[in-house]
């Protein structure tokens, strides 16, 4: 099922127009100086969360010293990044002091403390779309500028209950529905490896501050790639789990229709070894549904690779450096593990963006359709008219970003044809992966684009979005840096409820390719 002649012509036209518009945009945009954040030099910032928690429990380092080190790093890099939009440094230091006192007073021993409070004293950052008591929760909506959360989202509460200490909240795209973290309330967030590049979205502030060494572990959410794209663009690890395992409550925007079925809340971090414990904590009572304690023998897994989406007219060609990085992963797997990585193709992948849009537009089980995006923009206030907002935007008077207005204008509509394509792809993918298969797939066709350039390649997100539609777990893994010094990476996809397999592969890839790279170093 290759491209038809009409699709090839459409592909050429789309790429020609988007290339032209992108070139015009570059010529008209003011020149920005590309900067990289200074390297992390403080040793306390280079310890995985699991190991750091152990050091804190053993009194080898105090939580106060750790939290202060992270505060110092945020204050150093945030002026360049605009990643943390509201801090709670004073409260975090007070909680760190309380954690140190608790350790001093503990009578049950280190093991009991580790079981009860596995992340005691460890710094945490939180995506601003989640409720965190005393912090804003606006998702970049100007109309929500004065809102302050009075409670915690369930997933935030679980991590705090495990002893983690929130440092503050991080920037998102407006209403979490775009792959660049930019809004008219907080502004734009930059990539720590090149400040002229995007950090991704919607969990872009998380990706940026984690990669820069300003945070150690973080909370993200993913309905079309909002964990994986920031992790890819910023060179860190992230996991979009099997839906229904981690609670999605207590975050904005509200889900409607069947959107809850494709949304996943999950962990983001610099070190692969922190993914397992974070997911276990975040899953709460549902952790038993995943085999997170099972030992995975990678040599017994079946490995597959897909090089691209089959040539969709709507997406960019996959960058050659990403193709080569994925090839190197295959080579290492085959050499180190003695496995054979089988190259696959799924013809329906070229409809990925349309399949995702159809799933976003499906009614719930009672037949109620999703809330129109313009109503979500209004947030219960005055009606938002997308055409009027577009006119206002031309004159710089709209409170909404161009991307958000565009989404409201275009909307998502269900299609029986693409629903059928989704069902076929779901059947074939489930059959291939089963309970012991993992799939390698590009995270995005391009390396981290320049600011605003995704406006000219809207559907490139579909490389991640398709796995939301298929409700499959995916771990995003960094694979070093490109010739330009930008992060490379790959998605590792597993069968439903087989999250432990993709996490185990992430651990292997970290050892094989070095994992997160300290910005500003070669």
The enclosing domain of 317 has a CATH number of 3.90.1300.10
The pLDDT value recorded for residue 521 is 85
* 285 within a domain of the structure (yes/no): yes
Q: Are residues 237 and 383 in the same domain?
A: no
The pLDDT value recorded for residue 33 is 86
Among 63, 127, 212, 398, the one annotated catalytic: 127
Active-site annotation holds for 127: yes
Residue 251 in 3-state DSSP? strand
- Determine the structural domain holding residue 67 and report its residue range: 36-370+412-513
Q: What is the pTM of this model?
A: 0.95
Tens of pLDDT, residue by residue over 227-264, are 999 999 999 999 999 999 999 999 999 999 999 999 99
Q: Are residues 348 and 216 in the same domain?
A: yes
* 31 within a domain of the structure (yes/no): no
The pLDDT value recorded for residue 32 is 75
Structure tokens at 406: 């565009």
Does residue 392 carry a pLDDT above 60? yes
Burial class (CB in 10 A: 0-12, 13-18, 19+), 507: buried
Q: Are residues 137 and 196 in the same domain?
A: yes
Q: Are residues 110 and 228 in the same domain?
A: yes
Q: Are residues 381 and 476 in the same domain?
A: no
CA atoms within 13 A on the CB side of 363: 5
Q: Are residues 237 and 129 in the same domain?
A: yes
Which single residue is written with the structure tokens 């036209």?
13
User: Which of 395, 411, 427 is where one domain is finished?
Assistant: 411
Q: Are residues 316 and 401 in the same domain?
A: no
Burial class (CB in 10 A: 0-12, 13-18, 19+), 402: middle
Burial class (CB in 10 A: 0-12, 13-18, 19+), 12: exposed
Average pLDDT over residues 416-438: 98
Distance CA(177)–CA(465), nearest Å, equals 12
Q: Are residues 391 and 502 in the same domain?
A: no
Closest CA to 56 of 66, 71, 69: 66
* 201 within a domain of the structure (yes/no): yes
Active-site annotation holds for 18: no
Distance CA(67)–CA(61), nearest Å, equals 11
Distance CA(24)–CA(485), nearest Å, equals 25
Among 173, 202, 212, 312, the one annotated catalytic: 202
Active-site annotation holds for 226: yes
Average pLDDT over residues 307-322: 96
The pLDDT confidence band at residue 185, using thresholds 50, 70 and 90, is: very high
Q: Are residues 398 and 495 in the same domain?
A: no
Distance CA(187)–CA(323), nearest Å, equals 33
Does residue 270 carry a pLDDT above 60? yes
Among 138, 173, 226, 352, the one annotated catalytic: 226
Q: Are residues 216 and 360 in the same domain?
A: yes
Measured CA angle at 483 (ends 478, 488), to 5 deg: 15
Distance CA(170)–CA(268), nearest Å, equals 13
Domain count for the chain: 2
* 15 within a domain of the structure (yes/no): no
Distance CA(97)–CA(109), nearest Å, equals 19
The pLDDT value recorded for residue 34 is 92
The pLDDT value recorded for residue 124 is 98
Distance CA(113)–CA(99), nearest Å, equals 11
CB 151 within 8 A of CB 133: yes
Does residue 420 carry a pLDDT above 80? yes
Q: Are residues 401 and 253 in the same domain?
A: no
The pLDDT confidence band at residue 408, using thresholds 50, 70 and 90, is: very high
Closest CA to 62 of 24, 27, 104, 25: 104
Greater model confidence, 520 or 373: 373
């Amino acid at each position: 099922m290759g491209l038809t002649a009409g699709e090839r012509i459409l592909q050429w036209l789309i790429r020609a127009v988007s290339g032209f518009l992108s070139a015009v945009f570059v010529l008209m945009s003011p020149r920005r100086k590309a900067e990289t954040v200074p390297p992390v030099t403080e040793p306390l910032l280079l310890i995985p969360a699991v190991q750091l928690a152990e050091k804190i429990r053993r009194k080898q380092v105090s939580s106060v010293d750790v939290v202060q080190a992270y505060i110092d790093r945020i204050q150093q890099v945030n002026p360049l990044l605009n990643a943390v939009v509201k801090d709670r440094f004073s409260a975090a230091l007070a909680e760190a002091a309380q954690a140190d006192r608790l350790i001093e007073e503990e009578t049950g021993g280190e093991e009991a403390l580790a079981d009860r409070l596995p992340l005691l004293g460890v710094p945490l950052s939180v995506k601003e779309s989640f409720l965190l008591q005393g912090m804003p929760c606006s998702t970049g909506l100007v109309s929500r500028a004065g809102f302050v959360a009075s409670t915690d989202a369930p997933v935030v509460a679980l991590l705090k209950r495990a002893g983690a200490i929130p440092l503050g909240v991080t920037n998102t795209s407006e209403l979490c529905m775009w792959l660049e973290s930019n809004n008219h309330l907080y502004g734009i967030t930059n990539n720590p490896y090149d400040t002229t590049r995007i950090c991704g979205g919607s969990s872009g502030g998380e990706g940026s501050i984690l990669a820069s060494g300003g945070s150690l572990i973080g909370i993200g959410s993913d309905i079309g790639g909002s964990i994986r794209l920031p992790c890819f663009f910023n060179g860190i690890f992230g996991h979009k789990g099997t839906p229904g395992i981690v609670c999605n409550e207590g975050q904005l925007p509200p889900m409607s229709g069947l959107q809850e079925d494709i949304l996943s809340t999950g962990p983001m971090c610099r070190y692969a070894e922190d993914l397992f414990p974070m997911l276990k904590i975040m899953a709460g009572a549902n952790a038993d549904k995943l085999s997170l304690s099972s030992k995975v023998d990678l040599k017994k897994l079946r490995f597959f690779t897909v090089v691209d989406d089959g040539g969709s007219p709507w997406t960019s060609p996959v960058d050659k450096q990403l193709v080569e990085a994925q090839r190197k992963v295959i080579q290492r797997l085959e050499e180190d593990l003695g496995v054979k990585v089988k190259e696959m193709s799924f013809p329906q992948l070229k409809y990925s963006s349309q399949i995702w849009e159809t799933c976003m537009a499906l009614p719930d089980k009672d037949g109620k359709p999703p809330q129109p995006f313009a109503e979500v923009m209004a947030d219960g206030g005055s009606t938002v008219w997308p055409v009027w907002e577009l006119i206002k935007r031309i004159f710089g008077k709209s409170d909404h970003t161009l991307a958000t207005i565009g989404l409201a204008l275009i909307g998502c509509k269900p299609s029986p044809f693409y629903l059928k394509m989704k069902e076929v792809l779901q059947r074939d993918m489930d059959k291939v992966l089963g309970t012991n298969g993992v799939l390698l797939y590009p995270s995005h066709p391009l390396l981290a684009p320049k600011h605003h350039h995704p406006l000219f390649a809207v559907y490139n997100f579909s490389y991640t979005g398709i796995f939301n539609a298929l409700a499959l777990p995916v771990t995003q893994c960094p694979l070093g840096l490109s010739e330009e010094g930008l992060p490379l990476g790959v998605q590792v996809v597993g069968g439903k409820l087989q999250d432990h397999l993709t996490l185990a592969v992430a651990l292997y890839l970290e050892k094989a390719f070095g994992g997160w790279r300290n910005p500003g170093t070669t």
